[in-house]
Every structure is written in structure tokens, then in C-alpha cells.
Structure 1
Amino acid sequence: MQPALLMLILTSVAMSAIAQLLLKMGVGGVRADGAGAGIAFLQSPWVIAGFGLYGLGAILWLYVLARLPLSAAYPFVGLGFILTMALGVLALGESISPIRIAGTLLIALGCVCVSRSIA
């Protein structure tokens, strides 16, 4: 795989993971219920930033998909699970169990296997 394409994949995945963090931060402070909560969510600067980052990441992802087979590109989305979990621990103080760590390592191993199978 070309290094430039790999960097675009990793950037897109990282943008998606960071967007998840921003969305979580945005909805964490909302104390409304029902339809009011939905409106409050959409007014949060963190939620707006999260959606914006998702959009930019999606544009990068489209560029990647135009240049790689879907079956080669999509497994890298699994890296988003790893990065999102790490962000949850580091930025939000979430705790993780050994079984969650093991599952995350299996995802990482799968991504390595797929990347090595691409000519």
C-alpha cells in the first residue's frame, strides 16, 4: 500500500475517533429531556465540531475508496475502535477491563493482517 494512502486512511480514522470524543463531550453537559434534548445537542459547540470533523473525515475516506478496493480499505476502520477506546480512557477517564483490551488487540492484529495482504 502506498504510504500516502495509508496516511489518508489513518487520518480519516483518527478524525472519526476524535469526532466521537467531541460528540460525547457535547452531549455530556446537556440536561434536557425529550425533543428539548435533541435541540440542545445540536446547539452544543462540541457536537457541531464533532459533526464537522466527521464530514471532513468522510471526504478523505471518499478519496481513499476511489483508490483502493473496499475490502482492503474498510478493515482499517477497526482502528477507530482502538483509538476511540484510548481517547475515552485518556480524555474522559473511562475505565477498561482486560477483556476489552484483549478484544482491542485482536482488532489491531486483524488490521495488520489485512494491511500485509494488500499488494
Structure 2
Amino acid sequence: MILVTLAMLACGQVLFKQASTQVSFARPASFLSATLIIALFVYGAATLLWLAVLSRVPLSLAFPFYGLSFLLVPAFAWWLLHEPIRPQTWVGGGVILLGVVIASLGDRPQ
């Protein structure tokens, strides 16, 4: 469930990026764009799923996985939006991934 939540959050960020090209604060009606509404729905559903995760898993164990979003969002932006990603971003994401692995190893809190 944690990984599904993170994937949904990353998708929501990509949708927010797409919506940002369609909305304008000078035109309030533009905030009714389908992309923005879908992004808000996906993000809201991910938040509810995160609550379900937290009801089953200690926060100290679940939260380090949240760091994977710093790897997933750039990866989705590269894959879906064709944004260039600097090598430093990939290296930083790898370091975060290593940190998540280290944080999830060992005895689990009871």
C-alpha cells in the first residue's frame, strides 16, 4: 500500500504540472480544468490511502518510504512529460533509495 500511495502522489504531481499550464489566477474559471480536478482527486485518494497505511504501520517505519517520492516524481516527469533530468537528481534519488533501504532494515518496532 505504501508504494501505491507514493505512485499516486507522484502521478498527482505530474498532473499538477500539466494543470499549471492551463490555469491562470487572472481567470478563476480556469481552475475548473479537468486536469486539475483529476490531480486533486488522485492526490486526495492518495492521502486517504496514506491514512490507511498509517493505521497499520508505525509512522517511524512508513515515513522513510515517503522519501521515495523524491525519486519517483522526477522519474515520472522524465517518462511522462519528457523533462530532462540532471544526473545529480538521479544520484540524489539513489542516495535517498539507499537511505530508505537502510531505514527499513533491522528489527521492526513492536
Letter in 1 for 2:57: L
TM-score of the pair, normalised by structure 1: 0.82
Quote the offset at 1:50 in angstroms.
0.7
Q: Give, as a single letter, the amino acid of the residue that structure 1 aligns with 2:104.
A: S
- Tell me which stretches of 4 or more aligned residues in structure 1 moved more than 6 Å: none
Q: Which amino acid aligns with 1:71?
A: S
CA distance, structure 2, for counterparts of residue 72 and residue 39 of structure 1: 42
- Pick from 8, 11, 14 the counterpart of residue 18 of structure 1: 11
Matched, 1:29 2:22: yes
In 2, distance between residues paired with 1:45 and 1:80?
24
* 1:103 equivalent in structure 2: 92
**1:43 counterpart letter in structure 2:** L
Deviations 1:53-85 (A, max 9, x none): 111111111111112211111111111111110
Q: Which amino acid aligns with 1:19?
A: G
Candidates 49, 61, 76, aligned match of 1:60? 49
Gaps of 5+ in 2: none
User: Any gaps of 5 or more consecutive residues in structure 1?
Assistant: 1-7
CA RMSD of aligned residues (A): 1.5
